[in-house]
Structures are given as structure tokens and as C-alpha cells.
Chains A and B, each alone.
Chain A
Amino acid sequence: MFEVIFLQFLNGLDKGAAYALIALGLTLVFGTLGVVNFAHGALFMLGAFCAVMFRQFLTLETVTIDPTQTSPWGAPLEIRTPLVQAWFGDFGAVLVNYSVPFSILITIPIMLLLGIALERGIIKHFYKRPHAEQILVTFGLAIVAQEVIKSIFGPNPIPQPMPTDLRGAADIGSWIGFQANVITYPLWRLIYFLFSAIVIGGVFAFLQFTTFGMVVRAGMADRETVGLLGINIDRRFTIMFGLAAVVAGMAGVMYTPLLPPNYHLGMDFLVLSFVVVVVGGMGSLPGAVAAGFLLGILQSFASMTQVKDVIPGIDQIIIYLVAVVILLVRPRGLMGRRGVMES
């Protein structure tokens, strides 16, 4: 029984890391800019499609038709040669194999520019407008983003294989003194967990230990005073929006081997990420992280048959149920501040 619970807990941490990572960017934007960004899920999705695009670019092929051979339906056989392999040989093959992690390199600048453009182009006009209108405009943007992706990449999920060396499961149990093959967990999910931890830690360190972060935190607490000190807080907030977009995008990239991305991915994660942020308390970074892990672990345990036998259907509603209970018992979420988002 212990190994069952341990595995479920591990799975909860793994899910929670994904939730926390998505919620982090959302709450970052809310905390700094005061904007409720319903397009955050779309940014996650766009990040995932950066990986798709990168891989499609790497696997561009030349097609030659061999008239001597025929395909099973009688047409001449097409022979495809990937260009990267033709040009770079083995290095090209490695590049294709590791396309997902490598695509982070292009995702960072793309998402940063996209985030900044979005903030300068549209979001900044909404700082003074009611939260309902912020929700609506970003919701509209999310629809536009997903439809553009759909018309380019089609409606179907596009699988992104993980590097061959990182497939399969790691025998964690044997590392900590269990029997072999009792506690195993997919390697890539462990990598995702580590990746999330590093990114979350990085964001916290950035805000805590750099001058930039200090100014931003001061701006979060009291925007006007910081402005009076002659500091251009607006530019820093723009960069924060770009940073949130980058975090969402990277989360999206690393998630692709676990779930083949399609255009709808953003909307699927949007509701979830909002629930996480609200449970954590709007605008609270530690709250979002804690809520992410909490919900991940609860969802994992709620999916066990032993639990479902007692409360049927609990796995389908646990996340929402927790959100409702927390909001009713602790009005501002786990770590929210007073007066946020209530007018």
C-alpha cells in the first residue's frame, strides 16, 4: 500500500508542478499589472506550438518520386529525405531527436516579443478599465490566437516525441532503497518537475535579489510612490508581461511530449489555471505555487478507485470543489491580500 500512495503522491507533485508553472505567469501579470489575463492559456498553447513549428522546420523534407516503385494504392512511391540530416548528418539527427528541449531557445525570444507586443498594443489600454472588460478583451484575444493556430496547423493534435534517451521510466524506488520495479516513474515527467522547480525558483530569485525585481515588487505594493521617485515603472511592467509570456511558453514547450498540442490546449488549461490562481489568492506568487501543488496532489488522490468508490465522480470535480470550498471559507484564497479584485 505504501508504494501505491507514494506513487500517487509523486504523480500529484508532477501534476502540481505543471499547474503551478501555468498559474505562476498568470498571477505575475495580475500582481504587477493588475490585469486579469484570460489569454494566458493561449500563451501556453502558443509556446507549445513554437515547439511544433521548430520541429516541422527541422523535419522539412525533399520529396523525390521514384517511378519504379509503387505505393500500396498504386501511385509512384515518394521518397522523403529530411533536409537537416542531408546537410548536417549526425548532428542534424541529434537536433531532430532533441527538438523539444532545443525549441526552448527559439521560444524565449518569440514569446518575449509576443508578450511585449501584446502589452504595448492592447493590454496597456485596459489598465484603467474594469476587470470585466479586461477579461473580455483577453478572452477575445485567446479565441483569435487559437483560431489562427487552427487555420495554420489544423484541428488535430501534433505529437512531439521526446528525445529517445529520455523515454521510458526511471526506477526511483531502487534509488531510495526499495525493491526494483516497484516505484517507477516516467523520466520526462521527472524532468518536467525539475524544470518547473528551476523556473519557479528562478522567478522568485529574480524578484527577490535583483534591483529590477525589487523595483517591480515595490511597484506592486505601491505603484504611485514608485512613479513619484522618478522610476519608469511602466517599462518594467511591460517586461514583466513579456516574462510571464515566456514562462507560459516554456511550460507549453516542455509539456508537448506529455500531451500532443492542438489549438484548443489553451482553453483547456485556462479554467484550470484560473482556479489555481484564485485558490492561491489573486496576485500572490507563493499562493499560486502552493495551490498548484495542493490541487495536483488532491486530484491525483481523488482519481484512486479506493476514493472513487466512496465518493463517485469525485475525480471529475475535485478541483472545482476545492476551489469552491476555499473561496467560501477563505475569501481571498490561501494567501491573497485584502481588497484585491473585489470592486
Chain B
Amino acid sequence: MTILKSGMSRRRLLQTGMAGIIGSGVAPMMFTKGAWAQEFCNNPTGDTVTLGLNLPLTGAYAEEGADEQKAYELAIAHLNGEGDGGLLNVLTPSALTGNGILGKKVGYVTSDSQTKSDVARAGATRMIERDGAIMITGGSSSGEAVAVQGLCQEMGVIFMAGLTHSNDTTGKDKRRYGFRHFFNAYQSGTALGPVLSNAYGNDRRAYHLTADYTWGWTQEESIKNTTEALGWDTVEAVRTPLGAGDFSQFLTPVLNSGADVLILNHYGNDMVNSLTQAVQFGMRDRQANGKDFQIVVPLFSELMAKGAGENIKGIFGTSNWHWNLQDPGSIAFTKSFGAAYGSPPSQAAHTCYVQTLLYADAVERAGTFYPPEVIKALEGHEFDGMGNGRTLYRAEDHQCMKSVLVVQGNDAPTSEYDVLNVVEEVDAATVDYDPSIFGGELGPAEPAPVCA
């Protein structure tokens, strides 16, 4: 199109040019006026409402992204009264009707974030500006979540974070417009501590390999605090580049370092690679300090466990949720998801599904899409039935306070999905913490008038 434009004859160009100059003088007023006239960003005026799904469909966390997309499609179908209704039937209290949100049919647009913060933010901008998304959700890394959350605060659009585990998301980078259902590194540490102490004792020497970026650092810090409180020594904490692929040069120094536990603060493909390679180095058959050498992966997902295959057997970690929990919510969701896609949902799928429903429910309770009211409806909201027990959306930092799972790689899987066992469900009270320890400031709820 632009090609034709530049190939025009001079006269044509001058003519359009004149029209353009006149037009361009008027244009900005015309467009911005439309924006100001809106009561708030992307107020849905028709009979549909659009959600913006920001999904890592390629890049390091692509597998999570694909699963998240399935979950969102399912949640939206359920909100529109299609399918078996899923968790709509078990959420308590619930204002959901199965008739869209506030009577408007729910639609969605997607954007591939490529697991990159920059791209995620550009995609979110596009979905807000072009597609009129009323809410942005998704993502599978904390970098994405924090970047998009800042944008949403600026635009006055609510952001329901997908999978993000860094303490920063609801800590120093928290925002009034951002909400997180997923747990965080701090809670992983608290939940994992007692289990590690039981299984491996209190006299251990740990060696950390940590993904060299924000999430890795916060997790390393949280786990170190926990294990050192147990009485473990930290031999070394080595930072590894993200997406290194071959971790062998970091694994060789572990062998004779005097450590007897290797803690892998990696996620996604990095974790699959580092764990697989650690096993290839024979670490799980080793003896050190007269004990069996152990590997711990503080944050687990069943998708990663599947990727790592049998290397994951017996390894401890934590999860937000797992499909073989036996409460009514988890059973309903697993059944609904399994029937639709032929495989059980991952924790990424679960958190995204729940976030969508929680947003819809908050809008219904607020009786409006106006973000400040929706924010009020979410803050301090208590609910049950979503598979994590009784849950509180904490008003101070927008973090969901709920139980956390300690999981272990399954020694005898019955199917390719049966890779993890839930060892312990640590209740919400145990993993509770003071929101002020991470600092940060939520900012105002009044929408900034920037939305175009």
C-alpha cells in the first residue's frame, strides 16, 4: 500500500498532499476528542466486551503460553454460557451469570509476547489502542508482568497477571491496576523449608545456579534465606545467562565444590536443560559429604516436568496448583479442560482461567466496567472454590493469599501427565507475610487520561 503511495505521480501527490495538510490540521483534534469524550479507557459501548490476551506463544516460555491460551478460550466460553460452565459452578461467592459480563458477550484478541518484556508491552499497547481491550491479562514471566503492569497503570486499564513468580510483581513494582493470583518466590521459600528439612536434614551444603535476571535473583534470595534458617550452608550462588542452552560449564564446578544439594533457580526451557544436564553429569548418583547428592527446583510446573522426563523423579519443588488435587474446584476445572483439549491443565492455565473469572466477577459485583470501581471490588475480596482453598485478594499489594503446594517428581507415573505428586498443601496462614517487607507503592486508582 505504501508502495503505491510512493509511486504516485507528482500531481496526484500534490493534490492528496493539499487535502492532507488540511486534514492533518483537523485530524488530531478529531481523534483526541473522541478519546476525551470517553468516560474511561475503552468503555465498552456495544454488546460485546474485549479482553486482551498477551501470550508468550514463542520464546522460552512458549509451552506455558499455548496452555494459557487454551485456558482463556475456555474461561471466555464459560463466561458466555457455553460448555459445561467449569468453575462458574463452584466459585463462592459468585456474581457470575454465564451470560457474558454485565450482559455483554465476551470476546478476545491475542498478541504474541515472544516471552520478551518489550514485545509484551508493545502488544498490550496495540490491544488497548487498536482493539479496544478493556482488560489485559496473561504472560509467563515476571519481566513481562512488571512491564505490562506499568503500562496498564499509565493507560488506566486493569491487568490480571498470568504466571509471574517474582516477589517484585506485587512487591516493589506493584501497581494499583495490576493483580496477581499466582504465588511468589517468598512463599515458595516458606513452603519448601520444612519439607526440605524433613527430607534432607539440617546439615546440608547448597549450591545455587540462578538465572541471571530479576526473577532468578529474588528466588535465590528467598530460598537462601529459608535454607540458611534451617542451618544449611550456601557454598556458592552462581548466576547463569538466560537461555544459555548448554549449562555444562556451570555444572562442572559443582562436582567438587563440597556441596551436597544443587538448587536450580531456573524456569522453562532453562530448567529443563540445566536439570537434564545435571543428571547427565551423574549428580543424582553421587555422594558428597557422606550423603546422597540432591537437586531441588524451587519453582516447578508440570509442563517443565514433562519436558525433563524421568530426570524429574523425586525432586522437590513448589507449585501454585496441580490438576490432581481433589477439591471440587480442581476436579471441575480438570474435567472441563481435559474434555476440551485432551490433556490436564497446567498451573499456568489454572491461574489464567481463575484470573479471568475473578475479573468478570468483580465487574459484575461493581456493576460497571469503570476500573476504579472494579479495583475496589477486587481489593480485599475473599472467595473460595477455585482449587486453592479460601483465598484473599490482599488490598495492600494485590497478591492472592492462598495455600501453596509442595510437589515432588513422581517416581512411578501412570501417564505422561502424571509427573508430579503433591507432597503437602501448605495453608494460606503459613505462607502469609507482611506486605510492607518488599516496599513499593500501588499508586492512584483514578484512570490517567492517556488512553487513545
B321-370: which have CB < 8 Å to A?
323-324, 334-335, 337-339, 342, 344
Chain B contact patch, size range = 35 or more
Contact of B338 among A11, A74, A168, A268 (CB under 8 A): A74
Docked CA distance A58–B57 (Å): 28
- Closest chain B CB from A218 CB (angstroms): 38
**Contact between A260 and B307, CB atoms less than 8 A apart:** yes
**Contact between B337 and A155, CB atoms less than 8 A apart:** no
- Closest chain B CB from A251 CB (angstroms): 14
* A-B residue pairs, 5 tightest by C-beta: A73-B338, A169-B282, A303-B249, A186-B280, A155-B62
The verdict on A234 contacting chain B, using a C-beta distance below 8 Å, is no
Docked CA distance A140–B383 (Å): 53
16 A–B contact pairs at CB < 8 A? A8-B252, A11-B252, A72-B338, A72-B344, A72-B415, A74-B335, A155-B59, A159-B272, A168-B282, A185-B281, A186-B281, A260-B269, A260-B307, A300-B249, A304-B253, A308-B238
**Contact between B277 and A72, CB atoms less than 8 A apart:** no
A123-165 to B contact mask, C-beta < 8 Å, 1/0: 0000000000000000000000000001000011101010000
The verdict on B256 contacting chain A, using a C-beta distance below 8 Å, is yes
Question: Contacts A168-B285, A184-B281; is A7 near B307 (CB within 8 Å)?
Answer: no
Q: Find the A residue at minimum CB distance from B287.
A: A181
The verdict on B236 contacting chain A, using a C-beta distance below 8 Å, is yes
**Contact between B335 and A184, CB atoms less than 8 A apart:** no
Q: Find the B residue at minimum CB distance from A299.
A: B249
Q: Which residues of A contact B63 (CB under 8 A)?
A: 156
Q: Which residues of A contact B417 (CB under 8 A)?
A: 72
A1-56: which have CB < 8 Å to B?
3-4, 7-8, 10-12, 14-15
- Closest chain B CB from A53 CB (angstroms): 19
Question: Contacts A15-B248, A73-B337, A73-B344; is A169 near B272 (CB within 8 Å)?
Answer: no
The verdict on A316 contacting chain B, using a C-beta distance below 8 Å, is yes
Docked CA distance A10–B249 (Å): 10
Docked CA distance A149–B335 (Å): 33
Docked CA distance A150–B57 (Å): 12
Chain A contact patch, size range = 35 or more
Question: Contacts A4-B256, A73-B335, A73-B344; is A259 near B245 (CB within 8 Å)?
Answer: yes
The verdict on B438 contacting chain A, using a C-beta distance below 8 Å, is no
- Closest chain B CB from A181 CB (angstroms): 7
Docked CA distance A109–B212 (Å): 41
Docked CA distance A258–B277 (Å): 7
Q: Which residues of A contact B243 (CB under 8 A)?
A: 268
The verdict on A182 contacting chain B, using a C-beta distance below 8 Å, is yes
Docked CA distance A46–B62 (Å): 20
Q: Which residues of B contact A169 (CB under 8 A)?
A: 280-282, 285
A229-270 to B contact mask, C-beta < 8 Å, 1/0: 000000000000000000000000000001110100000100
**Contact between A75 and B338, CB atoms less than 8 A apart:** yes
A178-196 to B contact mask, C-beta < 8 Å, 1/0: 0001101110110000000
Docked CA distance A300–B252 (Å): 9
Q: Which residues of B contact A10 (CB under 8 A)?
A: 252
- Closest chain B CB from A48 CB (angstroms): 12
Docked CA distance A43–B241 (Å): 25
**Contact between B249 and A11, CB atoms less than 8 A apart:** yes
Question: Contacts A15-B249, A186-B282, A189-B248; is A75 near B236 (CB within 8 Å)?
Answer: no
Contact of A316 among B241, B276, B323, B418 (CB under 8 A): B241
Question: Contacts A11-B252, A259-B273, A300-B252; is A73 near B339 (CB within 8 Å)?
Answer: yes
Contact of A73 among B238, B239, B287, B334 (CB under 8 A): B334
Show the binding face of A for B, using Cβ within 8 Å: 3-4, 7-8, 10-12, 14-15, 71-75, 150, 155-157, 159, 161, 167-169, 181-182, 184-186, 188-189, 258-260, 262, 268, 299-300, 303-305, 308, 315-316
Q: Which residues of A contact B339 (CB under 8 A)?
A: 73-75
Docked CA distance A299–B239 (Å): 14
Docked CA distance A308–B246 (Å): 18
Question: Contacts A73-B335, A315-B241; is A305 near B253 (CB within 8 Å)?
Answer: yes
**Contact between A188 and B280, CB atoms less than 8 A apart:** yes
B237-268 to A contact mask, C-beta < 8 Å, 1/0: 01101010110111011011000000000000
**Contact between A157 and B307, CB atoms less than 8 A apart:** yes
Q: Find the B residue at minimum CB distance from A188.
A: B280
Contact of B282 among A150, A184, A259 (CB under 8 A): A184
Q: Which residues of A contact B93 (CB under 8 A)?
A: none
Residue from A72, A73, A305 with most neighbouring chain B CB atoms (10 Å): A73
- Closest chain B CB from A323 CB (angstroms): 17
- Closest chain B CB from A332 CB (angstroms): 29
Docked CA distance A33–B272 (Å): 40
Docked CA distance A10–B276 (Å): 19
Q: Supply 8 further A-B pairs (C-beta < 8 A) apart from A73-B344, A155-B59, A168-B285.
A: A7-B256, A8-B252, A8-B253, A14-B248, A72-B323, A157-B272, A189-B280, A268-B243
- Closest chain B CB from A56 CB (angstroms): 15
The verdict on B58 contacting chain A, using a C-beta distance below 8 Å, is yes
Q: Find the A residue at minimum CB distance from B243.
A: A268
Docked CA distance A82–B246 (Å): 31
Q: Find the B residue at minimum CB distance from A317.
A: B241
Docked CA distance A207–B243 (Å): 37
Docked CA distance A300–B277 (Å): 15
Q: Which residues of A contact B241 (CB under 8 A)?
A: 315-316
Q: Find the A residue at minimum CB distance from B337.
A: A73
Q: Which residues of B contact A7 (CB under 8 A)?
A: 252-253, 255-256
- Closest chain B CB from A299 CB (angstroms): 6
**Contact between B248 and A11, CB atoms less than 8 A apart:** yes
Q: Find the B residue at minimum CB distance from A71.
A: B338
Docked CA distance A4–B58 (Å): 38
**Contact between B253 and A15, CB atoms less than 8 A apart:** no
Contact of A15 among B238, B246, B307, B337 (CB under 8 A): B246
Docked CA distance A12–B253 (Å): 12
**Contact between A259 and B286, CB atoms less than 8 A apart:** no
Q: Which residues of B contact A12 (CB under 8 A)?
A: 249
Docked CA distance A60–B344 (Å): 22
Docked CA distance A155–B238 (Å): 29
Docked CA distance A303–B66 (Å): 34
The verdict on B17 contacting chain A, using a C-beta distance below 8 Å, is no
Q: Find the A residue at minimum CB distance from B280.
A: A186
Docked CA distance A185–B245 (Å): 18
Docked CA distance A260–B269 (Å): 9
Q: Which residues of B contact A308 (CB under 8 A)?
A: 238-239
Q: Which residues of B contact A73 (CB under 8 A)?
A: 323, 334-335, 337-339, 344
Residue from A4, A155, A316 with most neighbouring chain B CB atoms (10 Å): A155
- Closest chain A CB from B234 CB (angstroms): 12
Contact of B273 among A150, A167, A260, A315 (CB under 8 A): A260
The verdict on B444 contacting chain A, using a C-beta distance below 8 Å, is no
Docked CA distance A144–B338 (Å): 35
The verdict on B23 contacting chain A, using a C-beta distance below 8 Å, is no
